[in-house]
Amino acid sequence: MSKAIVVYYSRTGNTKKMAVRIAAALKESGLSADLKNVEETAPADLLLYDLIVIGSPVYYGTMAWPVKKLLDESVKHHGKLKGKIGGAFASSGNLAGGNETAVLDILKSLLIHGMIVQGDHQGDHYGPAAVGKPDDRALRSCDQYAAKLAALTNRLFP
Ligand SMILES: Cc1cc2nc3c(=O)[nH]c(=O)nc-3n(C[C@H](O)[C@H](O)[C@H](O)COP(=O)(O)O)c2cc1C
């Protein structure tokens, strides 16, 4: 069974709701999926998974610093994440408040690790985005994103 982890930071619960939804949808697609707060995630934990999905609230247009801290500390495993699949999602306070820039900043780090990321030609192109409390549209986006990532993971890591 392919192994996934959904890592998130959330102070007021919005990003956590998305993380819970993505982890549940990954499980529905047949993956084992762990759900972890970023503060209880060590860089070495990332080595254990085929798929790593990272979520953050938007802070000043980018990821929150605890997420950046994990990614910066993951340098000690540089090269060991290559070929794994990655994804990202974000929650902002405002429409056009930086969800896409935050998601792309996370994805850039994953690409620099040599990981594989998948876009979406229909929905949230770079990864699920919510404005405030995730509404039905945002939660559906989480479901669809998780299903796509799971299909890719099951194909590459059967
Ligand atoms: C330090 C800080 C910076 C923020 N910067 C932005 C921002 O640049 N753009 C935006 O739309 N919202 C911004 N917000 C609002 C959060 O992104 C938003 O409330 C988010 O949904 C919180 O997610 P959470 O409930 O998972 O903590 C900021 C909030 C904080 C505390």
- Per-residue pLDDT tens listing for the chain (158 residues): 999 999 999 999 999 999 999 999 999 999 999 999 999 999 999 999 999 999 999 999 999 999 999 999 999 999 999 999 999 999 999 999 999 999 999 999 999 999 999 999 999 999 999 999 999 999 999 999 999 999 999 999 99
- pLDDT of amino acid 71: 98
- pLDDT of amino acid 68: 98
Spacing, Cα 100 to ligand 1 middle (Å): 13
- Structural contact between residues 51 and 4, judged by C-beta atoms closer than 8 angstroms: yes
- pLDDT of amino acid 11: 98
Q: What is the 3-state secondary structure (H, E, C) of 124-141?
A: CCCCCEEECCCCHHHHHH
Q: Relative to the CA of 14, which ligand 1 atom is closest? A: 25
**DSSP annotation of 18:** H
CA distances from 142 to 8, 62, 70, 150 (A): 14, 19, 22, 12
- pLDDT of amino acid 41: 98
CA distances from 75 to 69, 70, 78, 113, 128 (A): 10, 9, 5, 9, 26
Spacing, Cα 57 to ligand 1 middle (Å): 5
- pLDDT of amino acid 77: 98
CA distances from 40 to 6, 36, 69 (A): 12, 7, 12
Residue 57 Cβ < 6 Å to ligand 1: yes
Q: Which helix (H) or strand (E) holds 91?
A: strand 85-92
- pLDDT of amino acid 109: 98
